[in-house]
Amino acid sequence: MPTEDTFYGHLQRRGVNRRDFLKFCTVMAASLGLGSGATNQIAEALETKKRLPVIWRHLQECTCCTESFIRTQHPIAADIILNMISLDYDETLMAAAGHHAEAAAQKVMEENKGNYILAIEGSIPTKDDGIYCVLAGRTAVDILKEEAKNAKAIIAWGSCATVGCVQSANPNPTGAVAVQDIIKDKPIINVPGCPPIAEVMAGVITHLLTFERLPELDSQGRPKAFYGHRIHDKCNRRAYFDAGLFVESFDDQGAKEGWCLYKVGCKGPNTYNSCSNLEWNGGLSYPIKSGHPCIGCSEKGFWDNTGGQSLYTHLSDVPGLKIGMNVDTFGAAAVGAAVAGAAVHAGLSAVTKKAHDKAEAGKSNKNSMGG
């Protein structure tokens, strides 16, 4: 029987059955892009290893990452995710407050030196000695440096912690920066998005607990399993992009037909995330599928990438586009080609019909003469 301190032992005490536990392991293996054999490996790790002690700090943010983390589609999945870790400090979810809360964080650092995970949600203000985010009388910068010192690894949740998000947008009045801009001597997993998808967050923690190492990361420190492809690559509207059929304004006929949203600001071709693959709310949908353009929330500087214009301003240059022209030109050319093709088709159809009618008339005259 699993011990009380393991993840699975804790789940059993909470009444989660074996079948649901194995379903969770299967989903995590698939989400991480691992083979079918990984399900048993994940299950064994969660049955035998102790839960990860975690300090989860909220700095300059709106708490949307925590909201995403706890709001999975199925209650059992939410219970599994929250019980996978020993969440010893989280201002949003813990019952303790004030001195008792801070004492809990100190206890984790002392008893689990070099073996706890520091999760950061939010950017860090550095202007004016960091006074724009103060907790228990201490600046966010000081707290981050202290708690990162003996952490096993750091998870930067959301775009605030990974790239600064809206707080660092021009003119960046608080001097907001990302975790990686301050901490240089610890392994950091960047999990961008505003917020990240719950299953992505669960996948990162599952990988850490199962394999006791960081998942494979890209050049920006993001897990390749979830940020290895553009939203554009698996978008349900991709065929319309390739055909040059774009929504020109909301509620036009193209919007009603489900055409590509690129010209009304969609940043899918420039954004790396799992939205079009995993989708949100248990695979129900994601912004583009629901009719709204992607705003590129997992990319650095997405608030400023349109040059101070609206988020609904599209970018003409698309990385990897091999048609030799920008999207505006391509859209016009594609539509022009479609119109020209329709005209040619109509012309050929008219000629064919005229020839057919002439042949039918000849047969009719011959039959009449034969009669």
The model's confidence at residue 12, banded by pLDDT at 50, 70 and 90, is confident
Residue 274 DSSP one-character state: S
Q: What digits encode the pLDDT tens for the residues 26-62?
A: 888 887 878 778 888 888 888 888 888 999 999 999 9
* Cα distances (angstroms) measured from residue 10 to each of 5, 13, 33, 74: 7, 5, 27, 19
The helix/strand/coil state of 87 is strand
CATH 4.10.480.10 fits 229-339, yes or no: yes
- Positions at the binding site for [4Fe-4S] cluster: 62, 65, 160, 194, 232, 235, 260, 266
- Residue 36 to residue 56: CA distance in whole angstroms: 32
Placement of tokens 């479609």 in the chain:
338
Tokens, residue 94: 């813990």
Beta bridge partners of 116: 151
Q: What's the confidence (pLDDT) of residue 345?
A: 46
Least confident of 106-115, 174-183, 208-217, 303-312: 303-312
Domains of the chain by residue range: 1-50, 51-211, 229-339
- Residue 72 to residue 67: CA distance in whole angstroms: 9
The model's confidence at residue 103, banded by pLDDT at 50, 70 and 90, is very high
**What dotted CATH number matches 51-211?**
3.40.50.700
Q: What's the confidence (pLDDT) of residue 210?
A: 85
> Could you give the percent of the chain with pLDDT greater than 70?
81
Bridge-based pairing of strands 138-139 and 134-135 is antiparallel
Tokens, residue 71: 């709001």
Rg (CA), the chain: 28
- Positions at the binding site: 62, 65, 160, 194, 232, 235, 260, 266, 275, 294, 297
- Positions at the binding site for [3Fe-4S] cluster: 275, 294, 297
Q: What digits encode the pLDDT tens for the residues 232-278?
A: 999 999 999 999 999 999 999 999 999 999 999 999 999 999 999 99
Placement of tokens 């790790």 in the chain:
45
* Cα distances (angstroms) measured from residue 251 to each of 239, 247, 261: 20, 9, 11
Statement: residue 331 has pLDDT above 50: yes
The model's confidence at residue 13, banded by pLDDT at 50, 70 and 90, is confident
Closest among 104, 89, 101, 6 to 52, alpha carbons compared: 6
Is residue 78 within 8 A of residue 70, CB to CB? The reply is: yes
Q: What is the mean pLDDT of residues 330-351?
A: 49
> Could you give the percent of the chain with pLDDT greater than 90?
53
Closest among 154, 288, 146, 272 to 220, alpha carbons compared: 272
Q: What digits encode the pLDDT tens for the residues 131-160?
A: 999 999 999 999 999 999 999 999 999 999
The model's confidence at residue 325, banded by pLDDT at 50, 70 and 90, is very low
Least confident of 9-23, 274-288, 333-347: 333-347
Q: What digits encode the pLDDT tens for the residues 80-98?
A: 666 777 888 988 888 888 8
Beta bridge partners of 56: 90, 119
Please give the span between the terminal C-alpha atoms of the chain, in angstroms, as a whole number.
99
